[in-house]
Amino acid sequence: MPLLFESVVHLEQDTWSNSLFPVFYTQILMPMLLPRASGLVRSIIKKEYFMLYTFTHSVMRLVAALIVSGGVSLSAYAFPIAAPGSEGLKVIATGGEIIATYEGNSASFSNDLYLGSTFIFNNHATPVGTSVSLGTFAAGTELMFRMHVNDTGHDFFTGDASRNPDSHEHARVQSDWLPNTTLVSFEDLYNGPFDYNDLSFSFSNTIAAVPEPEIYAMFLAGLGLVGFCARRRKQNV
């Protein structure tokens, strides 16, 4: 049971004399207010204090009952999201069998995950922790995953932004989230907001692809152009 919930249960079980609420009001708030208040105001303060305590105590009892009965769980909503800076990377097999595991989501839309035409998970129907074997892939093979948003009909892909209908990167791909395991997190909204919390899943025997040689070449060319412009500016000065 989470520590916060344990505290709530213990608080509900406290008596009137040792509860935090009477201590706060009798030892802190009321000594500040009552000496400066008239008789009528004092009566109102005491009455409101009793009503507030009664309401709060009832809420605590309800929360505690839900916790004890198993009706509430914070841990059910905790799930991993791939790290920022991993947007637009590709999923590359390192060789061997690839096991996909569903890690969770906080999406309102219903999203299906595919590898090619093969269905893997649904973010609402699939239990967290479900694992599926995707088969064996040769090292260096790109696995291009597709998330289909059932509510809007959009399809978003791992990899380059050019693959997506809004020309944005809709998946983060984090290598070594766990040993020999890659974590992928999707964004399901057209044009963002890109918090990547709509479907997270992990894979064994995969890595995130590093930028390809032509991307490095473009980067170096850009640096060269910046240096050339800076040199020309100095000469003109």
What are the boundaries of each domain within the chain?
3-75, 91-212
Write phi, then psi, for 156 (nearest 5 degrees): -125, 150
- Residue 64, pLDDT > 80, answer no
pLDDT of amino acid 98: 93
Residue 132, SS3 per DSSP:
strand
Residue 40 reports pLDDT greater than 60: no
Angstrom distance (rounded) from CA 131 to CA 157: 21
Residue 227 has pLDDT above 70, yes or no: no
Scored b (16 or more CB within 10 A) or e, 26-37 reads: eeeebeeeeeee
pTM of whole model > 0.75? no
For residue 44, name the pLDDT band (cuts at 50, 70, 90). Answer: low
Q: Helices 39-68 and 3-13: crossing angle, nearest 10°?
A: 130
Alpha helices in the chain (DSSP H): 3-13, 20-24, 30-33, 39-68, 213-236
Give domain 91-212's CATH architecture: Sandwich (2.60)
Reference 169, options 178, 179, 182, 160; nearest CA is 160
Closest CA relative to residue 4, chosen from 65, 73, 52: 73
The Cα angle at residue 162 between residues 134 and 213, in degrees rounded to 5 = 80
The whole-angstrom separation of Cα 29 and Cα 110 is 49
pLDDT in tens, 111-154: 999 999 999 999 999 999 999 999 999 999 999 999 999 999 99
Cα–Cα separations (whole angstroms), residue 187 to 108, 148, 151? 12, 11, 14
